[in-house]
Amino acid sequence: MQVLHSIAELRAALAGQTGTALVPTMGNLHAGHVSLVELARQHGQPVVASIFVNPMQFGAGEDFERYPRTLDADCAKLKAAGCDLVFAPDVAEMYPVPQTFTVQPSASLTQDLDGAFRPGHFSGVATVVLKLFNLVQPRVAVFGKKDYQQLLVIRELVRQFNLPIEIVAGDTLREPDGLAMSSRNGYLDPSERMQAVRLHAELAAIQAAVQSGERDFSGLTATACRHLKMAGWRVDYVELRDVENLQLPVSESRHLVVLGAAWLGKTRLIDNLAFDLFVQD
């Protein structure tokens, strides 16, 4: 497995490749990331994983400086997973001049949910992903479903710019108690870790209620928010949306996703569950 740090090395290594599969990451990898690499191997070769903590997608007061950088451990996991090449540039390599040209995703996808609480986040994500697509020229790119709003933004980026890239979505991996795997789980202290599964539990309760026939969507999400707040969480949102476009469900909606983001101490956790709406006869 090659580990490269410069754009020139990357382009030289990939010259002539037409079936590349890309897995963009910010490092501090866990089993969820490894599963994305394994999924990428089923769709293309060589498999390239990028490791880059992108400053453009972090807002003021967020955890850019303390986000864990664990390159050696990450490379060991990637090698074991069958990754062929790791691209790990520094900020100066990715942004040699001020990035004044940026991608501005559609407000319909980014004006609420995480977009409302992290202004500029999805512009930063879309901009760095477009740069990575340009550098790697992949045929396939793999993203996790845990960042569901991000996944839809990337899919729309590819569609709007007519990029010849297939976006493959990897399922969210969970700990045995249901907590979605995340690099930020490492911020949790032991007592917080025990509580962290509550977010998933509230989303699962909403899914079960809707599939049992409950249609008071706002009441269900309000109850989930109240339960989390009573347990000491600071809730950004819990919302039910159409899985295709993240708009509020309408009578024709048959595929839904319930999404949540909330703070447990100093750690912000996100999760979602996509499911089919059972239609009562």
Q: Note whether 141 and 263 are same-domain residues.
A: no
Looking at the structure, tell me whether residues 50 and 124 fall in a common domain: yes
Q: What residues does 141 pair with on adjacent strands? A: 22, 167
pLDDT at res. 279: 55
Band of residue 250 on the pLDDT scale cut at 50, 70, 90 = confident
Q: Are residues 141 and 62 in the same domain?
A: yes
| 151 shares a domain with 113 | yes
**Cα distance between residue 15 and residue 9, in whole Å:** 10
Phi and psi torsions of 44, nearest 5°: -175, 165
Q: 85 with 130, same domain?
A: yes
Give the CATH number, domain containing residue 261. Answer: 3.30.1300.10
| CB contact set of 88 (below 8 Å; sequence gap of 6+) | 3, 4, 5, 27, 50, 51, 52, 71
Q: What is the mean pLDDT of residues 35-53?
A: 97
The answer on pLDDT for 173 being more than 60 is: yes
Same domain, 106 and 165: yes
Q: What is the SS3 assignment for 14? A: helix
Instruction: State the total domains in the chain.
Output: 2
Residue 197 is assigned to a structural domain of this protein:
yes
Among 170, 199, 216, the domain boundary falls at 170
* Sign of CA pseudo-dihedral 269, 249, 144, 125: negative
Asked whether residue 255 carries a pLDDT value surpassing 80, the answer given is yes
- Indicate whether 46 and 111 sit together in one domain: yes
- DSSP string across 126-170: HHHHHHHHHHH--SEEEEESSSHHHHHHHHHHHHHTT---EEEEE
pLDDT of residue 45 exceeding 70, the answer is yes
Torsion of CA 229, 231, 237, 243, to 10 degrees: -140
Q: Can 200 be counted among the known catalytic residues?
A: no
Residues 58 and 163 in one domain: yes
Q: Are residues 229 and 164 in the same domain?
A: no
Classify residue 140: in a domain, yes or no: yes
Range of the domain at 261: 183-273
Residue 281 binned pLDDT confidence (cut-offs 50, 70, 90): very low
Whether residues 47 and 156 share a domain: the answer is: yes
In a domain, 278, yes or no: no
Any domain includes 176? no
Encode pLDDT of 50-81 as tens digits. Answer: 999 999 999 988 999 999 999 999 999 999 99
pLDDT over 70, % of the chain: 99
Mean pLDDT of 252-274: 96
SS3 of 122, please?
helix
Q: Which pLDDT score is estimated for 252?
A: 81
90: in domain: yes
Of 33, 43, 121, 227, the catalytic one is 33
State which of 145, 170, 195 marks the end of a domain: 170
User: What pLDDT, in 10s, does the model give residues 201-249?
Assistant: 999 999 999 999 999 999 999 999 999 999 999 999 999 999 999 999 9
Q: Are residues 164 and 194 in the same domain?
A: no
Read off the tokens for 11: 């382009």
Q: Is residue 12 helix, strand or coil?
A: helix
* CA R_g for the chain: 19
pLDDT digits (tens, 9 = 90+) for 201-210: 999 999 999 9
Asked if residue 39 belongs to a domain, the reply is yes
| Whole-number average pLDDT of the chain | 96
Same domain, 194 and 237: yes
